[in-house]
Chains A and B, each alone.
Chain A
């Protein structure tokens, strides 16, 4: 989307990336301090572990959103794929499918949906947002129909969740003796890989090229189609993984489990400083944004705000954050 610039540097990049990350970290510090002061038990062991756990879920779900944002697009199907993965996995377990196979099926399903999203969004470019919303809706409707066959509970799937899955996502979980839930370490590992790939491999730099000027990228033989498809495929895969690990967390399939993730993934990307216009930012920024969001949520919950009000606060936050990082250039500078 950010293709029509010429000449002046204007405000396209907004603040330099390093400055954005610093701002994000500053925000983080402020929030942690506020939490420590205002909420009893904020800095407790349990609360920190719980925040890390939630950050891992959000962080994983936000990977796809970050990649799509780098291309100037948004993936609105994330909450629906998370919810669908959640109930389908539970359903598969109920039907006696071996756990590893079940997980593989759901993961592949997520990738396939991602590829569909990618192919369609590539065709439609600027309308990718609405398109992915439609795909997400279709998927979640279909998943619920599938899991409702032979069941009275529409939207929830109760059943046995394997112990190892619960351990991965449990707040009390440990990994190799370290008191950190496995999912957090998984997240960190994936994060490191993603950041390295995006910054230091031709594949990753190709993303920035496509996001910066799709036509120029095509001229140097970077396949735009491939880039879009892979971005959305990764998003679909990550959403599936998030949905599956959330099943371990909650112990029962619930289709609405993904709902908060639409706006929070977007907010994490935006607050972190990645521009939604394409070509600027990266996953490192999103990690900062994720942490800010989780800490803020904890703060708000500690202050007694209902979910509805929390949502309202996030909404109010998005605008000033985007105002800092992703203001579109003044029209005067674009002529």
Chain B
């Protein structure tokens, strides 16, 4: 009697918009910028888009676990890990792969654990806590490194060339995306979704909402760490302020991808698609010659895209209950 297909589709209907948008953007790109579709083009694209994909995936579990949690500090955290890497590890000569990985993971995870602790035990709205984090970290970043300088670790220096598709950055991306998909099949992920969809219900029914929230933040920390690593590969140096722009870009990508900012609905695939869309949009825009106003055009379009995608996202996630 009931169509079995429809309920299952409904859960993923938030992907319709980003998929449609990617298709349109790819078509436009094929016309405006055919050089994107060469080996060089794709290789370069991967280098640029990977930090954004990973940053958006970092936002995803925090949004999914609910309480309106958007991590505004993802950009400055990315910057923090980057300048710390350049200033503390490379400059002092301790930049072996193992040390670097140990550093980035601890920095990302420890910060997120701190944030989660404040959210859970002090019970403050996540947006405020991460806003606070944004402020603190952007200030601290400038103290660590007052202007763009320094170099990436030696073994990473060739990573940003983008001349081949199967680059180290590409493999990191594949590894992290695989990790996400495995993670999304676990019971832990289910607990995160339950906590985000209705925390009171989850708590009252014995779901360990505290562990779910901590877990979501730890995963976010991991993804931010790898985003910072690939970002360092991209710019080849340290930059105290540029990373901040990833906050808005990742949020836009997340929203475009259809994940509901209220929690409990959406997922990683949407975030990946959303990030690719954002990348394609800025790439296509750069093929137009806007001269001195080029930066402003990007700024304005980011704003417009965010607004439009929020409206579309809202339409798709609409609750059926009337007022």
Q: Which residues on A are within 8 Å of B, measured CB to CB? A: 74, 120, 123-124, 126-127, 129-131, 133-142, 144-145, 148, 152, 154, 215, 218, 263, 266, 270, 276-277, 306, 308-316, 318-319, 322-323, 326-332, 334-335
Contact = CB atoms under 8 A, between A and B. Distances in A.
A106 B95 CA distance: 53
Contact of B200 (A137, A270, A310, A335): A335
A130 B308 CA distance: 11
Contacts, number: 165
A130 B200 contact: no
B173 interface: no
A327 B299 contact: no
Nearest to B252: A134
B139 A311 contact: yes
Given A154-B293, A270-B128, A137 B302 contact: yes
A263 B67 CA distance: 21
B138 interface: yes
Interface in B135-183: 135-143
Nearest to A316: B136
A184 to B, nearest CB: 27
A326 B124 CA distance: 7
| Highest count of chain B CB atoms <10 Å: which of A131, A133, A139 | A133
In this complex, the member of B142, B297, B299, B307 whose beta carbon has the largest number of chain A beta carbons within 10 angstroms is B307
A218 B322 CA distance: 13
Given A328-B123, A335-B204, A318 B262 contact: no
8 contacts: A134-B302, A137-B300, A138-B303, A140-B299, A144-B296, A154-B292, A308-B141, A308-B143
B199 A331 contact: yes
A331 B262 CA distance: 17
Contacts of B311: 120, 123-124
A248 B52 CA distance: 40
Contacts of B297: 141, 145
A121 B296 CA distance: 24
A126 B68 contact: yes
Q: Interface of chain A, helix or strand or loop or mixed?
A: helix
Best-buried of B125, B209, B252, B298 by chain A (most CB within 10 Å): B125
A318 B135 contact: yes
B243 interface: no
Nearest to B298: A141
B107 interface: no
Chain B: interface residue count, which band?
A: 35 or more
B310 interface: yes
Contacts of B37: none
Interface in B102-137: 118, 122-125, 127-129, 131-137
B293 A137 contact: no
A309 B136 CA distance: 8
Contact of B131 (A154, A318, A330): A318
B299 A144 contact: yes
Interface string B88-110: 00000000000000000000000
A126 B66 CA distance: 12
Contacts of B203: 331-332, 335
B36 to A, nearest CB: 24
B262 A130 contact: no
Given A129-B127, A137-B300, A323 B122 contact: yes
B299 A141 contact: yes
B139 to A, nearest CB: 3
Nearest to A123: B314
Nearest to A318: B132
B88 to A, nearest CB: 18
Please indicate which of the listed interface residues A145, A270, A315, A326 has the most CB atoms of chain B within 10 Å of its own CB. A315
B300 A133 contact: no
A-B CB proximity, top 7 nearest = A141-B300, A315-B135, A138-B303, A137-B303, A312-B139, A134-B306, A141-B299
A120 B142 CA distance: 35
Contacts of A145: 293, 296-297, 300
Nearest to A262: B131
B303 A136 contact: yes
Contacts of B296: 141-142, 144-145, 148, 154
Nearest to A305: B139
Nearest to A332: B203
A334 B200 contact: yes
Interface in B195-229: 199-200, 203-204, 209
B76 to A, nearest CB: 10
Nearest to A327: B123
A322 B129 CA distance: 9
Contacts of A329: 123
Given A130-B306, A133-B306, A148-B293, 18 more contacts: A126-B261, A130-B251, A131-B306, A135-B307, A138-B303, A140-B303, A141-B297, A145-B297, A145-B300, A152-B292, A154-B292, A263-B135, A312-B139, A315-B133, A315-B137, A323-B124, A329-B123, A335-B203
A183 B311 CA distance: 39
A145 B293 CA distance: 6
B123 A330 contact: yes
